Amino acid sequence: MADALSIIPAAVLRNLADKLYEKRKNAALEIEGIVKQLAASGDHDRITSVINLLTTEFTYSPQANHRKGGLIGLAAATVGLTMEAAQHLEQIVPPVLNSFSDQDSRVRYYACEALYNIAKVVRGDFIVFFNQIFDALCKLSADSDANVQSAAHLLDRLVKDIVTESDQFSIEEFIPLLRERMNVLNPYVRQFLVGWITVLDSVPDIDMLGFLPDFLDGLFNMLSDSSHEIRQQADSALSEFLQEIKNSPSVDYGRMAEILVQRAGSPDEFTRLTAITWINEFVKLGGDQLVPYYADILGAILPCISDKEEKIRVVARETNEELRAIRADPAEGFDVGAILSIARRQLSNEWEATRIEALHWIGTLLARYRAEVLSVLDDIFDTLLKALSDPSDEVVLLVLDVHACIARDAPQFRQLVVFLVHKFRIDHSLLEKRGALIIRRLCVLLDAERVYLELSTILEGEADLDFASIMVQALNLILLTSSELAELRALLKQSMVNPAGKDLFVSLYSSWCHSPTATISLCLLTQAYQHASSVIQSLVEEDINVKFLVQLDKLIRLLETPIFSYLRLQLLEPGRYIWLLKALYGLLMLLPQVHISGGSHSTEDGDNNQDTGIVPNGINFMVRLQQFEHMQHQHRMHTKSQLQARHSTSSTISQEVQRPEEQQRPPPVQDLSRLERLMTATFIS
């Protein structure tokens, strides 16, 4: 220190700490000259003493003017050293960097000026301090003082020039610092960071693309910045990187895919669009690298298909088609279960378009990887059943397509029908609102006869008798009215002469016994008129309730539809179809408050009112009648037990059940007159 004091005159040191800038500047020029002379003589020990004096007595002084003088003095010493400054940088640069955090804004300003002058002298030798300088500049870019910001920008431009021309810059050492800073929210810092990323990416010898996964998320984060300029700069940088990815033979798609998947769910519209655009390109370019990420990518695409922004929807749909077109091999890491899980989860998405695409994926997986899907079927089966309650008909139809694809094999078919009946049992509204749609579609996809036989087998042993009756009535109405079941009706009409028709009739009859009107309908359809008459006459008082009359009203309406045109034509030959007349008379007698104007034209006596037993095609109608009566007896017992239970729990409820107007109210008169008109026409003929 004493040596340095002897080298630099006291007047120079006083002026270096003066409050006037001009005096400090002149003192710095004196120091520059002194250091230049020492450097010329090679006296580096005394140069070191001078630098130490400037550092300890000035830059670290508690007096602001001293610190300003110390900074300008260090810059002057560096200029004096010129080509020999590099060996003294370890002494010169740290105190300058320390001054960047000084509380006095003027000191921070002079620190920028000093480092700028130092950098101009040493150029490439300056790179060893790059990370510390970058960190300091990052902070100064958001300085509260506009003058300091301006000085920092000038220094920043110089440092960028030095880095771009240097062969000593280490991108590997810089990236951790950049990654750490990328989540800063300050707009000035963000501009600073994007500027550096763009500059470094423009240097041919610096592989920024290889490190893109380290700062990609930060760039995407800037797309939602409140500043239009920052959003534009981040988008420009991302566009440039995406173009480089398209032209690069080696890209780490996997790590970036994880980031893009997260950003595709951003609340910011522009971020979502950019992310889904990148994913679109990745799906086209990624190849085998992306196979382990297909499930995550699909999880990002499906919600975007229903995005409120049309551009996002378009790109998402295109990406979805691209992804589904890829035929990946499970042996190469393609996780069918993970894809299936994503599709299952999206079935509960609030948007119809997403649910539809999720079902398309399940169908695709079933078609390509049937064994793998069936191995995890239990994980998705319940969700698929719940999807049958979807408010969208298109979704329900697709769900049924998937179910039908699953049910191609006998075990899965049985499981589907069992679960479907269970679903109807616990959710009567589903049966009411969607039952016809579901059953009709399954009949088209899985063969109507097969579906009805399986349903009949299950319902024959159904413990919930009320549900069994409702279900059979629904199936019967579908059978009689749906165009999809025309072939099944045609087969049933041949029951008296065709073995296949007979087997179908006998199988359906076992469960149709749960409902008297369904049983009568089945007999009329199969032209088993004598048995229909026997079934009608077997009914007792308890069977003729409101529910029965409502169902009977529906049957009477159906008799006037094209389905039963053959029956109406047969009425033109009353002598040939006497049992048809008896059956229709029987129905008429069951209807309350009906006046028959035509009189009785029966030519048979009472002994012919019973089934004769064996009829053509080997159907034992006596056994069938016993089967029907047994089933109806079970229903009567069940009804009585229900009434007793209600009586025991609440007399009020019991009174409601016993209301005469509910028990005796007939269907509308205009509907009941239909059958009477039909019978009258027969008498006239």
Domain spans in the chain, listed from the N-terminal domain onward: 1-165, 176-201+210-243
Burial (0-12, 13-18, 19+ Cβ within 10 Å), 551: buried
- Nearest Cα neighbor of 35 from 17, 18, 54, 21 is 54
**Which residues have C-beta within 8 Å of that of residue 21, sequence separation ≥ 6?**
none
- What confidence score (pLDDT) does residue 96 get? 95
Token pair for 8: 């630099």
Tally helices (H) and strands (E) across the chain. 37, 0
Q: Judge: domain 1-165, CATH 3.40.190.170.
A: no
Helix, strand and coil percent figures for the chain, each rounded to 5: 80, 0, 20
Report DSSP state, residue 19.
S
Token pair for 612: 């004769």
- What confidence score (pLDDT) does residue 671 get? 53
Q: What are residue 596's phi and psi, to 5 degrees? A: -100, 120
Q: Average pLDDT per run of 10 along the chain, which is 685 residues long?
A: 73 92 92 91 90 93 94 94 90 95 95 95 90 94 94 95 91 94 92 95 92 95 94 96 92 92 95 96 88 93 96 96 89 89 94 96 94 89 89 94 90 91 92 93 94 95 93 96 94 91 94 95 94 92 84 91 92 92 90 55 45 64 91 89 76 46 47 61 53
- What confidence score (pLDDT) does residue 617 get? 67
- What confidence score (pLDDT) does residue 672 get? 53
HEC states along 579-630? HHHHHHHHHHHHCCCCCCCCCCCCCCCHHHHCCCCECHHHCEHHHHHHHHHH
- What confidence score (pLDDT) does residue 276 get? 97
**Which residues have C-beta within 8 Å of that of residue 489, sequence separation ≥ 6?**
479, 480, 525, 563
Q: What are residue 525's phi and psi, to 5 degrees? A: -65, -40
- What confidence score (pLDDT) does residue 3 get? 65
**Which residues have C-beta within 8 Å of that of residue 559, sequence separation ≥ 6?**
524, 567, 568, 674, 675, 678
Residues present in the chain in total: 685
The 10 Å Cβ neighbour count of residue 85 is 21
- Nearest Cα neighbor of 401 from 338, 458, 445, 355 is 445
Q: Which residue has the tokens 């009020």?
A: 652
CA angle 30/31/37 to nearest 5° reads 95
- Nearest Cα neighbor of 172 from 207, 123, 129 is 207
- What confidence score (pLDDT) does residue 599 get? 46
403 and 444 in contact (C-beta within 8 Å)? no
- Nearest Cα neighbor of 264 from 305, 227, 236 is 305
Ordered DSSP codes for 420-458: HHHHHHH-HHHHHHHHHHHHHHHHHHHTHHHHHHHHHHH
- What confidence score (pLDDT) does residue 608 get? 47
160 and 199 in contact (C-beta within 8 Å)? yes
402 and 356 in contact (C-beta within 8 Å)? no
**Which residues have C-beta within 8 Å of that of residue 97, sequence separation ≥ 6?**
111, 115, 129, 132, 133, 136
Burial (0-12, 13-18, 19+ Cβ within 10 Å), 41: exposed
Report DSSP state, residue 666.
P
- As a whole number of angstroms, the distance between CA 36 and CA 29 comes to 11
- What confidence score (pLDDT) does residue 339 get? 94
Provide the terminal-to-terminal Cα distance of the chain, rounded to the nearest Å. Answer: 138
Ordered DSSP codes for 370-414: HHHHHHTHHHHHHHHHHGGG-S-HHHHHHHHHHHHHHTTSHHHHH
276 and 300 in contact (C-beta within 8 Å)? yes
Strand-pairing partners, residue 620, are 614
Reduced to 3 states (helix: H, G, I; strand: E, B; else coil), residue 77 is helix
The kind and range of the H/E element at 502 are helix 499-512
